[in-house]
Structure 1
């Protein structure tokens, strides 16, 4: 009696697995060659940049009452790496080294000074002012001094950049740079320097108006 041969339809034959592996390797290989040749093709045909932007429109005007009394310059190297589970970095992943340079201003809001915060004697020779404490402004990244040192992207990420509306986007590292610069500014003496400069400015201004004694203090 002959035993019937069982065929497992749910499993892929070994030869099919081998062919699939070879096809995948060849696809990755030729895709890498195509990506390496593509920049050269762009240079071959040449590119031109035309600025067709419309005129800037004024949306609003705000009165400024703060006195920017100090400014700090900062620089940070951002190392941002993104990995994907179960896939090697050569296939999916990215790492960017970015040098971010920016400034943070420290200011005193003179608009919050009320009538009870300013006292002047009858002879107008002595003045006492109580001002709010200096505060830190928002970090401002300088695009002329900020740049990407290196960019490493996996094959799938490079393919995605070709079809993306914003290829080689640096928004993530720029946001990290701004955040780190803002945190670093909190550990400096910018606010103290701003209050010292504001006091010096007010004493000089009121002194030119005839005040012989000027006292400036800071509170909440």
Structure 2
């Protein structure tokens, strides 16, 4: 009897394909998700600087027309202006949670100006007197005031911003505009306090006095006295 060798038959590829394809598809899917996550998070937390130019992004100004809300007449003399700069270090913590989970810390450089002026609108006829031959004049003015701080956007910027995990997740959906508003308000308040402690108002009164004396001297007055009340 002739024996016939029985060759082992290869397994059906249809039974092996799913096992072989399964790991490859899972790895490919994980890789795609990882790339998308890095691209998305990179724009938020600046882990991938320069990635924005990869897709040729462009900015388009679609702002509508600027509306004039009101016009006010200013009866005041802007006599001096101070330039200020402050580094704001604002930290917000959450109770019972570590900073890595919930909390923010922002370093912000705020640069701005504060003007000082003398208001002429309340001057009455009794506040300006002259002698009979109009060679001497006496003027009484209110003390100089300080204007509101005006931040300079070209020289104000965020140096560093640290956020907890929950804060980062919240920024992904909302952008957290309140955070930027908080540091700018704090910078303006510190600049305003610094202006009050400076000699800005005194300098404004000195400049106003010099301006009025020069003006009246040109009109023929030889003696000009300016005081502040």
- For the aligned pair, the TM-score class normalised by the smaller chain equals 0.7 to 0.9
Q: Could you say which residue in structure 1 is the equivalent of 2:180? A: 170
Cα distance change on mapping 1:148 and 1:35 into 2, 3 Å: farther
Q: Could you say which residue in structure 2 is the equivalent of 1:138? A: 148
**Which has the larger Rg?**
2
Matched, 1:154 2:154: no
Structure 1: give runs of 5+ residues left out of the alignment. Answer: 1-30
Aligned partners of 1:36 and 1:122: how far apart in 2?
84
Shift of 1:49: 1.4
Matched, 1:188 2:195: no
Choose which of 121, 124, 128 in structure 1 pairs with 2:131.
121
Q: Could you say which residue in structure 2 is the equivalent of 1:91? A: 101
Q: Could you say which residue in structure 2 is the equivalent of 1:51? A: 61
Structure 2: give runs of 5+ residues left out of the alignment. Answer: 1-32, 43-47
Tell me if the contact between 1:91 and 1:155 (Cα under 8 Å) persists in the aligned partners. yes
Question: What is the total number of aligned residue pairs between the two structures?
Answer: 189
CA offset digits 1:146-179 (Å, max 9, x no partner): 1111010111111111110555841110000000
TM-score by length of 1: 0.79
Aligned partners of 2:34 and 2:165: how far apart in 1?
7
Q: Could you say which residue in structure 2 is the equivalent of 1:210? A: 220
Aligned partners of 1:188 and 1:113: how far apart in 2?
26
Matched, 1:198 2:205: no
TM-score by length of 2: 0.76
Cα distance change on mapping 1:68 and 1:87 into 2, 3 Å: same
